Amino acid sequence: MEIINSVKELKAKVAALRDNSKTVGLVPTMGALHAGHASLVKRSVRENHATIVSVFVNPTQFNDKKDLEAYPRTLFADCKLLQSLGADYVFAPSVEEVYPEPDTRSFSYPPTDTVMEGAFRPGHFNGVCQIVSKLFMFVEPDRAYFGEKDFQQIAVIRAMVADYTKRGEEWAKRLEIRPCPIIREEDGLALSSRNTLLAPNERDIAPNIYKALKDSVAFSKTHTVEETKQMTIQQINAVEGLEVQYYDIVNAITLESVTSWDDAEHIQGCITVFCGAKPIRLIDNINYK
């Protein structure tokens, strides 16, 4: 496995792979890797001749400076894990390498990027589109892998790729976005790099989020969307130390809120919960149908 720090070297490696008709899988990450990321890398290794994993804490997607500073950075351990998984290249650039000048591009794909996380973290998805589009243009991968824990992020990235496809970009036309299922701890907590920031007592209460989501699926069989939403929020807020920021039940494709279980073919519940005193923001989601 090779570690690459410059865009020029990255492009040279990719060009050599293409010259040899090799398919390329890209796994974009911000590091602090866990079994969730490992599942994406394993899948890419299985499905492509070569796998490139980017490890870059992207400053433009953080709307809170403290959150950016607190984000765990564990490149040495990340590289060890990636080597054991069979990744071929790690792209770990500096901020200056990725953004030699400020990125002033703006992306807008409503409602996917304006609802839920988009409403509570203004600018977040613009930053995600900035970095992910750059990575796509550097690597021009055949397939790119994203975890479904960030359910909304996948919808926004799909909209962005569709936009570039419409504009005639060859890399976008070829690219396949591959969503991968959430990986959970045994007690149900969705794996996240942020989990390492939880104090032991916060870690103990965090699994109540998934428990409430699962209970809500059973509850939904005999209740309306609104009743299901309220029940989920109340069950989580009843746990001391947890506070729901939002819970929405949405069309899984457009991310528009639904009011009836018949409103869409696929329906997803998406939640963000504050955990503990700092607090740590945890996100999760569940499929209703």
Between 48 and 193, CB nearer to ligand PAF? 193
Which one among 7, 32, 129, 132 touches ligand PAF, defined by CB under 6 A?
132
Stretch that binds ligand PAF, among 108-116, 125-133, 204-212, 234-242 (CB under 6 A): 125-133
- Active-site annotation holder among 34, 37, 49, 223: 37
Shortest reach from residue 251's CB to ligand PAF, in Å:
22
- Does the footprint of ligand PAF cover residue 58 (CB under 6 A)? yes
Maximum CA extent, the chain: 58
Say whether 19 sits in a helix, a strand or coil.
helix
Contact 250, 172 (CB under 8 A): no
CA distance 149 to 190: 7
Contact 2, 115 (CB under 8 A): no
Q: In whole angstroms, what separates CA 53 from the centre of its chain?
A: 14
Q: First vs last Cα of the chain: how many Å apart?
A: 41
- Does the footprint of ligand PAF cover residue 216 (CB under 6 A)? no
Shortest reach from residue 129's CB to ligand PAF, in Å:
9
Residues 152-211 close enough to bind ligand PAF by CB under 6 A: 153
Shortest reach from residue 127's CB to ligand PAF, in Å:
8
- Does the footprint of ligand PAF cover residue 30 (CB under 6 A)? yes
Active-site residue 124, yes or no? no
Which one among 28, 36, 93, 118 touches ligand PAF, defined by CB under 6 A?
28
Q: How far is residue 98 from each of residues 12, 88, 90, 191, measured CA to CA in Å?
A: 16, 21, 15, 27
- Does the footprint of ligand PAF cover residue 150 (CB under 6 A)? yes
Q: Pick from 60, 33, 210, 235: which is nearest to 131 by CA?
A: 60
Shortest reach from residue 28's CB to ligand PAF, in Å:
4
Say whether 231 sits in a helix, a strand or coil.
helix
Stretch that binds ligand PAF, among 44-52, 112-120, 126-134, 198-206 (CB under 6 A): 126-134
Contact 271, 247 (CB under 8 A): yes
Stretch that binds ligand PAF, among 23-31, 92-100, 194-202, 208-216 (CB under 6 A): 23-31
Residue with token string 């997607």: 61
Stretch that binds ligand PAF, among 24-32, 42-50, 91-99, 275-283 (CB under 6 A): 24-32
Say whether 14 sits in a helix, a strand or coil.
helix
Between 150 and 248, CB nearer to ligand PAF? 150
- Does the footprint of ligand PAF cover residue 131 (CB under 6 A)? yes
Contact 112, 152 (CB under 8 A): yes
In the sheet where 2-4 sits, what is the strand order? 2-4, 89-91, 50-55, 24-29, 143-147, 176-180
Shortest reach from residue 166's CB to ligand PAF, in Å:
22
Which positions are catalytic?
37
Which residues are near ligand PAF by CB under 6 A?
28-30, 58, 61, 128, 131-132, 150, 153
